[in-house]
Structure 1
């Protein structure tokens, strides 16, 4: 039976097993991980504010360029850290800044598109993201939701299912085959968004459990950075999915 399980690919069983065998000064702690997560969150916010201000200064070309640089650069950083967790101490701050540029760019575009129907949509999405994260933390802390082996397997399977479904949809889109419910405001589309948000939120339970287990098993100190990065990946995913739901609810249907 696997010692660590998470639907988050950044926090996989193999990575934790290898990390325990790695010699490093000091061991991982929950407090250290959360402090590093706080720093990464600050960097994401800083990058997002910078992108947002570019829009306000009418530097749209620069903002769009940085948004794509953030998306592609963040993805590359995540891949590197997935193979070399030891590099998270150096790369995770870069990843966070890049993700901030990306999130700031898409946020300001959504805000502009929905300004008449929902002028505060971005603040609502941010508020909901933090609210969900806090609720899931308390549900985990008070053991209202326990990360049993059965629950872990269910969440992992659901997460892989979402990834596979999104991948198929992207491939079909390349061949000009669209799935209308992926974009429109139909009941099916809204239901899909809500389902994915629930799956993303449940991944937070697994992330919190992984951090606790890593600390209990004496994982090396660099895993604090890596686990903080993994938690950030889930938070970013949750925010993007909530933003998609907002677009469905307040935007025009796309048929």
Structure 2
């Protein structure tokens, strides 16, 4: 199966470019080897090939358990770094100094910028790197911790807005997963193309907003006004659609017998989707509290 999702389309295994221990190509749909060296249809054991010396043994396949485990590790790293950033950055108050404010903004800028760069690296990397996925989670946690602290202090009013956003994010995850399974949602090619195009458009608008803000302008896309509310709602819906693409990848990957390392690719995709949902949901709650 060929995927248009940039997180998954560079996976050799997911896109039908797998090889078995003997170097024969394996097709994701059925996991059967193309007949060639190292494969045989003869029932006589004496005619079976044993392959070439030095070939690697087949790796363990990706399973639901491996995906859950890797996703749990990724989210744990993200939450730990987010909590550490919240605790270690200065408290936001009217009496805070410019130096204290700069530390908070630096955490958001460095964490967010580093996470964005690594998200591109992980998305277009053919062989997924667990270390890079975890570094991405750590940097994303730094950015989320600082951003959440800022929103809570400025717009939350001490009413637990961050906790509500976290609960809402996992509720959205559970609801989307239930709908995907119970309604047997099938992901088509047009749906994939629409979601990926919309996500890239949103990212492009956000980057444009950052540059315009640096020069004293802005469209309000990332803000907390009416335009910001509109784009936050659109972003929340896109986050749900991104989760559906993630579930589709996991389901097809397990069916195709992808190697276990692809569980990290699934964990990365799920983490990106959950962060996307959380940030947009937090903005919506903040705007509604104003």
Q: Does 1:30 align with 2:28?
A: no
CA RMSD across the alignment: 2.8
Q: In structure 2, do the counterparts of structure 1 residues 219 and 181 end up closer, same or farther at CA, with 3 Å as the change threshold?
A: closer
Deviation at 1:62, TM superposition (A): 5.3
Aligned to 2:172: 132
Distance 1:19 1:63 in 2: 45
2:119 to 53, 78, 81: 78
Using the TM superposition, name which of 16-25 and 26-35 deviates more. Answer: 16-25
Q: In structure 2, do the counterparts of structure 1 residues 178 and 126 end up closer, same or farther at CA, with 3 Å as the change threshold?
A: same
Using the TM superposition, name which of 86-95 and 143-152 deviates more. Answer: 143-152
Q: TM-score, normalised by structure 2?
A: 0.73
Greater share of helix: 1
1:17 aligns to what SS in structure 2? coil
Q: In structure 2, do the counterparts of structure 1 residues 115 and 14 end up closer, same or farther at CA, with 3 Å as the change threshold?
A: closer
Q: Does 1:102 align with 2:143?
A: yes
2:8 to 3, 7, 11: 11
Determine if contact 1:47/1:104 at 8 Å carries over to the other structure.
yes
Work out the number of aligned pairs and report it.
246
Distance 2:249 2:225 in 1: 36
Determine if contact 2:155/2:287 at 8 Å carries over to the other structure.
no
Structure 1, unmatched stretches of 5+, are none
Determine if contact 1:40/1:92 at 8 Å carries over to the other structure.
yes
Q: TM-score, normalised by structure 1?
A: 0.82
Q: Which has the higher contact order (CA 8 A, sep 6+)?
A: 1
Structure 2, unmatched stretches of 5+, are 22-57, 93-98
**Highest CA radius of gyration, 1 or 2?**
2
Distance 2:281 2:147 in 1: 13
